Amino acid sequence: MSAINDMLAANERFAATYTMGDMPPQPRRKLTIVACMDARIDPAPALGLHPGDAHIIRNAGGRVVEALRSLAISQQLLGTEEVAIIHHTRCGMATFADDDIRGRLRDTLNADADHIAFLPFRDLEQSVRDDLEAYRQSPIVRQDIPVRGFVYEVETGRLREVN
């Protein structure tokens, strides 16, 4: 069975007892989290979240530049009032450069991706600082709310704040 078919079967079991259909779209904690899409990270239990608590925006590296559109919607239309930016140790984004992925796309798909910034990084804590600065520089997100940056340690499950 394929992974997607497994997913569909699991969804049938989930839907049979689903009870959250009337939950409002606004997150109870008024929190938005920007985090990496890494499969080793399960944000809800790691951060003490339950369904309806927070918006979780995930992308490769947990990069803010790719999340700005969603952050603006979360804040302006759904009332979120705090942002946590979370990068993590042993991230794949620290293992390549833009030219590496561009070359692979050119070789495997004959695709020109020279205009795309894939946003890899070498220094993990600096990547968090860079994303905090990208947030501060954006005119489409609120500047009057707490925005904090963290590193999630995949080895221990702990968060540490980056200043």
Phi, psi of 64 (to 5 degrees): -65, -40
What local confidence, expressed as pLDDT, does residue 134 receive?
Answer: 98
What local confidence, expressed as pLDDT, does residue 18 receive?
Answer: 93
Q: Residue 86 burial (CB < 10 Å; 0-12/13-18/19+)?
A: buried
For 149-162, write each residue's pLDDT tens digit: 999 999 999 999 99
For residue 160, list its beta bridge partners. Answer: 151
What local confidence, expressed as pLDDT, does residue 1 receive?
Answer: 73
Question: What is the layout of strands, in order, in the sheet containing 82-88?
Answer: 54-59, 31-36, 82-88, 147-152, 159-162
Question: Is there a contact between 148 and 161 (Cβ–Cβ < 8 Å)?
Answer: yes
Count how many domains the chain has: 1
- Supply the CATH number for residue 147's domain: 3.40.1050.10
Helix H or strand E segment including 122: none
- Domain region containing 100: 3-162
- Regions in the chain scoring below 50 on pLDDT: none
